[in-house]
Structure 1
Amino acid sequence: MDINMKSHNLFIILLSAVLMTLLGFPIKSSGETDLAFIKMPISAQSAAGMGVFTQMSGSPIAIFENPAGIQNLSPKICLSHGFWFSDISSDAFAFSIPVRQRTFAAGFNFVRIPGIQIRETPTEDPLNEIEAQYLTVGAGYSQQIRKRLTIGASVKYLYENLYTETGHGYAFDFSGRWLAPSSLDVSILIQNLGKMNKLDNESTTLPRLLKIGIVRPDIFIEDPFRVSVGLSLETNLDTKESGARVGTEICIKNLLSLHAGYQQIGSLNRKSVGFSIQAKRFELDYALLFYSKDIDNPSIFSLSRRF
């Protein structure tokens, strides 16, 4: 296969743009590409509530979403698989280990886009069929420094492979969680402080985000139900685009939890629903996401175990 440089550059840009468009993320007018895959929800537990409850999830996968949320009293592992659209899939694994007032966690998230057909002219038979791959490997740390205050941090290695080009980079996340006297669970999070190398001479920028989350746990308690609600406000520190997420969680006898969420960023809105089933040391989570009428609704399954 012989593709000239101009066509090659155009392919790289178009592939990145298609992924961002399908996932509902804006494309920068400057021509720079944005790492859409690190904005994708990873765990079903988080995605079902639009990420509102991540700060209190206790899941090791929170190293990718809010490192203060990995805080836990028991060792834990989590597996997650996402069915997206156009054969796009994601797989994640993470584990956490508590040590006194600290919790350490590590894991990875792998996204693949198979079946991309290469053509130089509009014909039925492609010249080749390739696969785009994206990988995040992370390690995180969380510590309770006061009775009501927890801090967390994580570092992520980022890798992307588009056709014949590869990109590498790193990013840091920092967060804090405060249990306010008014029964509010408040979190502040700064995501993706880092850099990427150029991909085929095209600048790849990290989506630097500032998020503030406010959760009211157990706002309603009436046996066997417990209801929690939450709000998350976010701003892209580069594009200045802002948005909000709301979520609710209904727990039934600590055996079954029902989740729902809504997100509004600019003119874009999304919805989510899901459930969690707890059985002894195991937890099964499922999330169904509603992104666009033009594509299949993505779904995510997660399985966790405490030790």
Structure 2
Amino acid sequence: MKKYFILVVIYSVTQLYPQSAGNTGLSFLKFGFGARNTAMGDVGNSASNDLTALHYNPARLSITQNNEVIFTHNAWIQDVSSEMFGIKTFLFDLPFALGFNVTNISDIEVRQIPGEPISKFDANYFYGSLSTAYKFDDMFSAGATVKYLYEGLLNDESTGFGIDLGLFYQSPIKGLSLSAAVRNLGSMNELRNEATKLPSELRAGPAYNLNLDDYKIELVLAGEYQKYFDADDHLNFGIEILYDKLIAVRGGYQTNYEGRDMAAGFGLMWGNLKFDYSYIPFSLGIGSANLFSLGFKF
């Protein structure tokens, strides 16, 4: 049985995130939060301008002064689905955000020999997070997130905790900001014989916002350096063109992934209500990812 368990672990991890590298698990923590960010090459650390900052860089929660809710459905590759929910409010003049993620890999097949599977099972993952930020002045903010983590695979379960730390700096140059975050620091209990290692990472990069008032256009350019501590590094780039605060088109590019590089999407706004969509094509015949987000500010 031990041999079969190892086989299904390898299978489920590669299914969940085929282009990941290194010796970490819990790859669902690498999924982007919010269709806007993923359409822009997953540059949420540098460019998130709403509640989705709770996933990328909690310091950016201090940028906006609205209460918010958001829901994201992620139809990932190979029958992987992920649902994300967040809510933000203010207590003692500080932003506090709750985030939840439920990820499921369905119908993982167990085989001893080629042919029909012996059985099938689902792999389940979850995190719940609490984030806050403190704004020192009009230019500098810091934030932190604490996460409760769960993974269930076959008949085994494990729990643990993670921490994210973030910084945000609004430079004296109009429209230019700098952001940096360290994510997924922490540990898990043992899953059968060994604890799963979190995909800890560093992200840092700039974003530039340009308003072309004569044309009712807002332009966002963003980039960031992303380094997984036990894996490869990546460069992420994104662009957003927003017209009249009604419709946005977006594109992104990521380097050093075996299965993907481009992303695209759009957004629609009606007052405080926002709908976003992103499309991420994969090579190697493993399909594509589609993300839908619905957010509301009040």
Q: TM range, normalised to the smaller chain?
A: over 0.9
In the other structure, the counterpart of 1:19 is: 16
One-letter amino acid of the structure 2 residue matched with residue 20 of structure 1: Y
Unaligned residue ranges in structure 1 (runs of 5+): none
1:247 and 1:185, CA in 2 relative to 1: closer, same or farther beyond 3 A?
same
One-letter amino acid of the structure 2 residue matched with residue 25 of structure 1: S
1:267 and 1:88, CA in 2 relative to 1: closer, same or farther beyond 3 A?
closer
- Do residues 210 (structure 1) and 205 (structure 2) align? no
Distance, in Å, in 1 between the alignment partners of 2:113 and 2:48 is 50
- Do residues 73 (structure 1) and 65 (structure 2) align? yes
In the other structure, the counterpart of 1:142 is: 133
Deviation at 1:178, TM superposition (A): 0.5
Match 1:258 to one of 249, 254, 275: 249
Deviation at 1:7, TM superposition (A): 2.1
Question: What secondary structure sits across from 1:295 in the alignment?
Answer: coil
1:13 and 1:85, CA in 2 relative to 1: closer, same or farther beyond 3 A?
closer
Distance, in Å, in 1 between the alignment partners of 2:104 and 2:171 is 41
Match 1:281 to one of 251, 260, 272: 272
Deviation at 1:144, TM superposition (A): 1.4
Deviation at 1:149, TM superposition (A): 1.0
Question: What secondary structure sits across from 1:265 in the alignment?
Answer: coil
Preserved contact between residue 49 and residue 249 of structure 1 (Cα < 8 Å): yes
Question: What secondary structure sits across from 1:278 in the alignment?
Answer: strand
174-183 vs 259-268, which deviates more? Answer: 259-268
259-268 vs 109-118, which deviates more? Answer: 259-268
Distance, in Å, in 2 between the alignment partners of 1:256 and 1:236 is 34
Question: What secondary structure sits across from 2:230 in the alignment?
Answer: coil
Normalising by structure 2, we get a TM-score of 0.92
Distance, in Å, in 2 between the alignment partners of 1:119 and 1:212 is 43
Match 1:90 to one of 75, 82, 87: 82
Distance, in Å, in 2 between the alignment partners of 1:18 and 1:80 is 21
In the other structure, the counterpart of 1:155 is: 146
- Do residues 201 (structure 1) and 193 (structure 2) align? yes
137-146 vs 192-201, which deviates more? Answer: 192-201
Q: How many residues of Structure 1 are paired with residues of Structure 2 in the alignment?
A: 296
Deviation at 1:293, TM superposition (A): 4.4
Preserved contact between residue 33 and residue 202 of structure 1 (Cα < 8 Å): no
Deviation at 1:55, TM superposition (A): 4.3
Distance, in Å, in 2 between the alignment partners of 1:62 and 1:94 is 10
In the other structure, the counterpart of 2:157 is: 166
Distance, in Å, in 1 between the alignment partners of 2:92 and 2:264 is 35
Preserved contact between residue 74 and residue 97 of structure 1 (Cα < 8 Å): yes
1:238 and 1:25, CA in 2 relative to 1: closer, same or farther beyond 3 A?
closer
Aligned-pair identity in percent equals 27
Normalising by structure 1, we get a TM-score of 0.90
Preserved contact between residue 179 and residue 204 of structure 2 (Cα < 8 Å): yes
- Do residues 186 (structure 1) and 178 (structure 2) align? yes
One-letter amino acid of the structure 2 residue matched with residue 127 of structure 1: I
Preserved contact between residue 234 and residue 244 of structure 1 (Cα < 8 Å): yes
What CA RMSD, in Å, does the superposition of the two structures yield over aligned residues? Answer: 2.0
- Do residues 231 (structure 1) and 223 (structure 2) align? yes
Deviation at 1:234, TM superposition (A): 1.6
Preserved contact between residue 261 and residue 272 of structure 1 (Cα < 8 Å): yes
Distance, in Å, in 1 between the alignment partners of 2:211 and 2:49 is 20
Deviation at 1:130, TM superposition (A): 0.9
Deviation at 1:60, TM superposition (A): 2.4
Q: Deviations over 1:181-230 (max 9, x none)?
A: 12311001111111112222134211221111200111765512221211
Deviation at 1:51, TM superposition (A): 2.5
Distance, in Å, in 2 between the alignment partners of 1:271 and 1:82 is 17
Match 1:41 to one of 29, 32, 38: 32
219-228 vs 165-174, which deviates more? Answer: 219-228
Deviation at 1:291, TM superposition (A): 2.6
Distance, in Å, in 2 between the alignment partners of 1:267 and 1:7 is 27
1:57 and 1:236, CA in 2 relative to 1: closer, same or farther beyond 3 A?
closer
Deviation at 1:269, TM superposition (A): 4.7
Q: Deviations over 1:106-156 (max 9, x none)?
A: 0201111111122323233x3322111111111100121111111111011
1:44 and 1:35, CA in 2 relative to 1: closer, same or farther beyond 3 A?
same
Unaligned residue ranges in structure 2 (runs of 5+): none
